[in-house]
């Protein structure tokens, strides 16, 4: 099959016109500006096992990065923990976290972890309508207005989800609730399909965790993965979602589906301050670089030596 000269000329002309327009007169469609940010998850700060010193050591390493991150995405499980402890203990571990977070000297954006909710049981159990129960404590301590939210930075849209569903008895599992999905649907409708997006969740939405810990035919429960992750994936399909940053399992893992990277970012605390998770995933955090509308990332350790071994 031959291409006529007229067709060729028209196509070449169109290409030339396209280049001219994108370079000279349509700056609004230029690739988003470059920047970097940090994904910090599962600090589990506490006085025991040297955890507070460990978090400060990790954050010192972040402060020393050559390229200063624009902000930090905080993946939850800030403290160890607030679920069933006394009011005094919950205040104390949150104070430790806030002191550490302020030392980062950068904006921080949060998703809740299952250990961050207060008074679900134990000696300080509160009724669910108490203004300090569960996630309401987390919102109050971090001065947050909503349990899920979004912000824009240099042409990118970042979305912080709430993946921790708490039941009447104070138990929890991974799920994105109906109100949140309605909010997300509205947000996606208002987002240009080409706009690069990044999501933040505590409990993973996609993971192979069960396959390499229990066996390749084993599925994980909603204690380890968001139960309606399939619904989330269908909602973002066709969108320009570059990454979903995840925590909770403390492993360093990446699954890519239809161009979306589901990145589980290890844990600052490693195996809850007792060494490497599964013996192979060290204490660390993820440095992310956004360049030309794409991301690259690397997991960085900070030289922590567990004090129990």
Interacting residue ranges for Fe ion, rule: CB under 5 A: 42, 77
DSSP β-ladder status, 252-257 and 172-174? unpaired
**Comparison of 147 and 277: residue with beta carbon closer to Fe ion:** 277
| 51-63 and 87-102 helices, crossing angle to 10° | 20
Smallest distance from the beta carbon of 152 to Fe ion, in angstroms?
Answer: 28
Residue nearest to Fe ion (CB): 77
For 151, other C-beta atoms within 10 Å of its C-beta total: 12
| Closest listed residue to residue 253, CA positions, set 207, 300, 185 | 207
For 104, other C-beta atoms within 10 Å of its C-beta total: 17
**Comparison of 175 and 241: residue with beta carbon closer to Fe ion:** 175
Smallest distance from the beta carbon of 205 to Fe ion, in angstroms?
Answer: 16
**Comparison of 38 and 184: residue with beta carbon closer to Fe ion:** 38
**Comparison of 77 and 175: residue with beta carbon closer to Fe ion:** 77
Smallest distance from the beta carbon of 166 to Fe ion, in angstroms?
Answer: 16
SS3 call for 109: strand
For 29, other C-beta atoms within 10 Å of its C-beta total: 9
CA distance 162 to 173: 11
CA distance 212 to 60: 33
**Comparison of 45 and 119: residue with beta carbon closer to Fe ion:** 45
Smallest distance from the beta carbon of 75 to Fe ion, in angstroms?
Answer: 9
Smallest distance from the beta carbon of 209 to Fe ion, in angstroms?
Answer: 13
């Amino acid at each position: 099959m031959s291409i006529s000269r007229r067709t060729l000329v028209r196509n070449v002309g169109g290409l030339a016109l396209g280049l001219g327009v994108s370079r000279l007169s349509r700056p609004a469609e230029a690739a988003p500006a470059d920047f970097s940010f940090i994904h910090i998850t599962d600090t589990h700060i506490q006085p025991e096992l040297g955890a507070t010193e460990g978090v400060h050591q990790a954050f010192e390493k972040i402060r020393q990065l050559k390229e200063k991150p624009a902000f930090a995405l905080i993946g939850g499980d800030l403290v160890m923990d607030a679920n069933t402890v006394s009011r005094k203990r919950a205040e104390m571990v949150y104070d430790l976290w806030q002191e550490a977070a302020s030392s980062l000297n950068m904006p921080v954006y949060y998703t809740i972890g299952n250990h961050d909710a207060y008074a679900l049981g134990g000696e300080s159990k509160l009724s669910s309508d108490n203004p300090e129960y569960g996630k309401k404590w987390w919102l109050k301590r971090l001065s947050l207005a909503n349990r899920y939210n979004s912000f824009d930075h240099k042409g990118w849209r970042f979305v912080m989800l709430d993946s921790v569903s708490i039941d009447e008895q104070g138990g929890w599992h991974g799920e994105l609730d109906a109100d949140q999905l309605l909010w997300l649907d509205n947000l996606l409708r208002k987002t240009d399909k080409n706009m690069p997006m990044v999501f933040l969740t505590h409990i993973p939405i996609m993971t192979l965790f069960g396959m390499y810990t229990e066996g390749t035919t084993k599925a994980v429960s909603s204690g380890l993965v968001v139960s309606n992750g399939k619904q989330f994936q269908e909602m973002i399909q066709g969108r320009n979602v570059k990454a979903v940053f995840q925590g909770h399992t403390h492993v360093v893992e990446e699954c890519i589906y239809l161009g979306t990277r589901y990145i589980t970012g290890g844990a600052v605390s490693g195996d809850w301050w007792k060494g490497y998770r599964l013996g192979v995933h060290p204490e660390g955090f993820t440095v992310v670089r956004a360049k030309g509308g794409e991301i690259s990332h690397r997991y960085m350790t900070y030289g922590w030596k567990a004090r129990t071994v």
